[in-house]
């Protein structure tokens, strides 16, 4: 044996061995299995949870679309004809929707993990590694892979630009300031400690971000940059091409349109009436379904969940692609069946489905935290390392899927980019606030 081989053998023999992991996920008999086999199973479970996160994101995005499309009725008198004119205006400002609904929802896995990690470490002197590690790793994942996906997904020859550079610059400034602020409170004011008033100030600055972004969107004087905004579409997400059908169960001949995608979601389109001298100017938007056929929509969700063949898979010309699609649909089937319990997004303007999606995301995040602790226990790898790498990329899948959908379906790049820049602020704000409350 050479001298080099002896030194390598000595270093390997001096590596500290971790003790037998007595923790388990479901059954106490898991501890009988070998550490390597258990680690492989837990890693597979972690990957399957990430698949579930990507599946629930599609439903979350649909519900958020309906929330943003919500309109309100505004009545005013025409000064010339003296007729009462009723208009339907959008309730949500698109800039605020991007920062709150979209960025908040896609960052919810990291927020949930940070809150769960803080709760599990109540009474300990130091915070756990899952929350901070996931935040730092997901920020890197946002800056590189997700930006690349947003550039690739538009069709050939299709150019999508940011319509409001001013709002993007405001979001960019606050995303950089978030990390400067964290350095100040962790290294300058109270080193290695986050106090309650620092956490409250952090949350307050998120409110400043909303006000600043809204002021820039509305071009308030003294609070906005003098930058012109290009033409912006009226709809946050344009309506998809649909096939009109005659509704047989209603005597008023309303129109029913069925969306021909994999989920076969049903949209209702109502004509704009003019009655008793009142003119209705209907702005396309979401409608709250108030008929008994809501339960039919819910039933369709369960029917679609058990279907393995989608319209896209029928277009495949090769057997290999078809088999791969069937295998993927088979993997998704349990998740889709579980998520079918989320009420249809046509109810209550999508709010119930929006909240239901966040509840499922929180549940998956809890399972992910348990699996990460078990992987760390079995392999001896520091939990912070796992959170910084595998956990960060996995919990960022909802953000990747949402940015991909926004880049594909929206006419501009505002939401896709805002989703990336604002998540840094949201994740830092929520995690440090929850962490400080749990340690008080």
When mean pLDDT is compared across 67-81, 186-200, 238-252, the lowest value belongs to: 238-252
| Distance (Å) of CA 92 to CA 64, 89, 97, 168, 406 | 11, 9, 6, 18, 17
| Distance (Å) of CA 166 to CA 171, 213, 415, 423 | 9, 9, 14, 18
pLDDT at 76 over 60: yes
- Helices 319-339 and 35-68: angle between axes, nearest 10 degrees: 70
Q: How many CB atoms lie within 10 A of CB 255?
A: 15
For residue 98, what pLDDT band results from cuts at 50, 70 and 90? Answer: confident
**Dihedral (CA of 372, 378, 380, 381) sign:** negative
- pLDDT value at position 251? 39
Q: What is the mean pLDDT of residues 370-375?
A: 88
- pLDDT value at position 390? 79
Greater confidence, 127 or 175? Answer: 175
For residue 136, what pLDDT band results from cuts at 50, 70 and 90? Answer: confident
Q: How far apart are CA 119 and CA 91, in angstroms?
A: 36
- pLDDT value at position 152? 83
- pLDDT value at position 13? 43
pLDDT at 82 over 80: no
Q: Round to the nearest angstrom and report the end-to-end CA distance of the chain.
A: 58
- pLDDT value at position 234? 65
- pLDDT value at position 279? 40
Q: How far apart are CA 330 and CA 342, in angstroms?
A: 20
Structure tokens at 19: 């003790």
Query: Which residues are CB-neighbours of 340 under 8 A, at least 6 positions away?
Result: 298, 301, 302, 304, 305
pLDDT for 188-208, tens place per residue?
988 878 788 888 888 888 889
- pLDDT value at position 281? 46
DSSP secondary structure letters along 157-209: T-----S-HHHHHHHHHHHHHHHHHHHIIIIIISTT---HHHHHHHHHHHHHH
pLDDT for 148-167, tens place per residue?
888 888 877 778 888 888 99
For residue 212, what pLDDT band results from cuts at 50, 70 and 90? Answer: very high
Residue for token digits 């109502």?
270
| Cα atoms in the Cβ-side hemisphere of radius 13 Å centred on 130 | 29
Greater confidence, 245 or 339? Answer: 339
Q: How far apart are CA 104 and CA 97, in angstroms?
A: 10
Greater confidence, 92 or 287? Answer: 92
pLDDT at 244 over 70: no
Query: Which residues are CB-neighbours of 45 under 8 A, at least 6 positions away?
Result: 25, 367, 371
Q: How far apart are CA 195 and CA 440, in angstroms?
A: 9
- pLDDT value at position 335? 93
Beta partners for residue 71, in sequence order: 90
Residue for token digits 């935040």?
135
Greater confidence, 161 or 266? Answer: 161
- pLDDT value at position 269? 54
Closest-CA residue to 129 (of 118, 144, 142, 143): 118
- pLDDT value at position 127? 67
Beta partners for residue 258, in sequence order: 243, 266
Q: What is the mean pLDDT of residues 283-293?
A: 50
Structure tokens at 418: 């805002």
Q: How far apart are CA 307 and CA 298, in angstroms?
A: 15
pLDDT at 211 over 80: yes
Q: What share of the chain in percent tops pLDDT 70?
A: 75
Greater confidence, 33 or 125? Answer: 33
pLDDT at 52 over 80: yes
pLDDT at 313 over 80: no
- pLDDT value at position 427? 57
For residue 365, what pLDDT band results from cuts at 50, 70 and 90? Answer: confident
Q: What is the mean pLDDT of residues 227-236?
A: 74
- pLDDT value at position 239? 60
Backbone angles phi, psi at 292, to 5 degrees: -65, -10
Structure tokens at 268: 């209702």
For residue 273, what pLDDT band results from cuts at 50, 70 and 90? Answer: very low
Q: How far apart are CA 422 and CA 191, in angstroms?
A: 26
When mean pLDDT is compared across 135-149, 213-227, 337-351, 356-370, the lowest value belongs to: 135-149
> 290, 96 in Cβ contact below 8 A?
no
> 282, 272 in Cβ contact below 8 A?
yes
pLDDT at 125 over 50: yes
Closest-CA residue to 362 (of 94, 53, 99, 84): 53
Q: What is the mean pLDDT of residues 65-92?
A: 82
Q: How many CB atoms lie within 10 A of CB 318?
A: 8
* Angle formed at CA 391 by CA 385 and CA 397, multiple of 5 degrees: 150
Greater confidence, 427 or 349? Answer: 349
User: Which run of H or of E encompasses 375?
Assistant: helix 351-379
pLDDT for 37-49, tens place per residue?
999 999 999 999 9
Q: What is the mean pLDDT of residues 92-116?
A: 82
pLDDT for 321-356, tens place per residue?
778 888 888 888 899 999 999 999 888 888 999 999
> 310, 322 in Cβ contact below 8 A?
no
> 313, 322 in Cβ contact below 8 A?
yes
Greater confidence, 417 or 253? Answer: 417
Q: How far apart are CA 66 and CA 409, in angstroms?
A: 14
Mean pLDDT of the chain: 75
């Amino acid at each position: 044996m050479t001298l080099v081989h002896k030194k390598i053998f000595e270093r390997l023999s001096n590596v500290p061995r971790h003790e037998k992991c007595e923790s388990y996920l479901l059954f106490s008999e898991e501890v009988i299995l070998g550490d390597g086999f258990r680690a492989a199973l837990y890693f597979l479970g972690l990957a399957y949870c990430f698949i579930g996160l990507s599946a629930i994101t599609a439903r979350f995005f649909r519900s958020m679309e309906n929330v943003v499309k919500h309109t309100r009725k505004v009545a005013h008198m025409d000064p010339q004809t003296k007729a009462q004119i009723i208009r339907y205006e959008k309730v949500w400002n698109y800039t605020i929707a991007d920062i709150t609904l979209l960025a908040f929802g896609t960052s919810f896995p990291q927020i949930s993990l940070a809150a769960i990690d803080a709760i599990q470490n109540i009474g300990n002197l130091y915070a756990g590694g899952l929350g901070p590690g996931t935040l730092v790793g997901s920020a890197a994942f946002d800056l590189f892979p997700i930006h690349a996906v947003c550039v690739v997904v538009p069709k050939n020859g299709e150019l999508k630009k940011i319509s409001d550079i001013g709002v993007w610059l405001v979001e960019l400034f606050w995303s950089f300031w978030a990390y400067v602020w964290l350095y100040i409170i962790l290294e300058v004011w109270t080193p290695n400690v986050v106090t309650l008033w620092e956490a409250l100030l952090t949350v307050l600055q998120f409110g400043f971000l909303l006000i600043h972004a809204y002021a820039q969107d509305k071009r308030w004087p003294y609070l906005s940059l003098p930058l012109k905004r290009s033409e912006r579409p009226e709809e946050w997400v344009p309506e998809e091409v649909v096939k009109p059908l005659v509704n047989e169960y209603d005597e008023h001949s309303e129109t029913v349109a069925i969306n021909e995608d994999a989920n076969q979601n049903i949209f209702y389109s109502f004509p704009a009436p003019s009655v008793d001298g009142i003119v209705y100017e209907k702005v396309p938007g979401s409608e709250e379904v108030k008929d008994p056929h809501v339960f039919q929509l819910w039933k369709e969700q369960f029917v679609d969940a058990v279907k393995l063949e989608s319209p896209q898979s029928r277009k495949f010309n090769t057997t290999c692609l078809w088999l791969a699609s069937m295998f993927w649909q088979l993997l998704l089937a349990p998740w889709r069946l579980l998520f079918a319990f989320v009420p249809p997004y046509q109810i209550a303007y999508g709010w119930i489905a929006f909240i239901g999606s966040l509840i499922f995301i929180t549940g998956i995040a809890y399972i992910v935290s348990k699996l990460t602790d078990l992987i760390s226990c079995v392999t001896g790898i520091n939990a912070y390392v796992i959170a910084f790498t595998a956990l960060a990329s996995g919990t960022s899948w909802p953000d990747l899927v949402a940015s991909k959908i926004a880049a594909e379906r929206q006419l501009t790049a505002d939401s896709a980019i805002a989703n990336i820049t604002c998540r840094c602020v949201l994740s830092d704000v929520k995690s440090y606030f929850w962490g400080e409350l749990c340690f008080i």
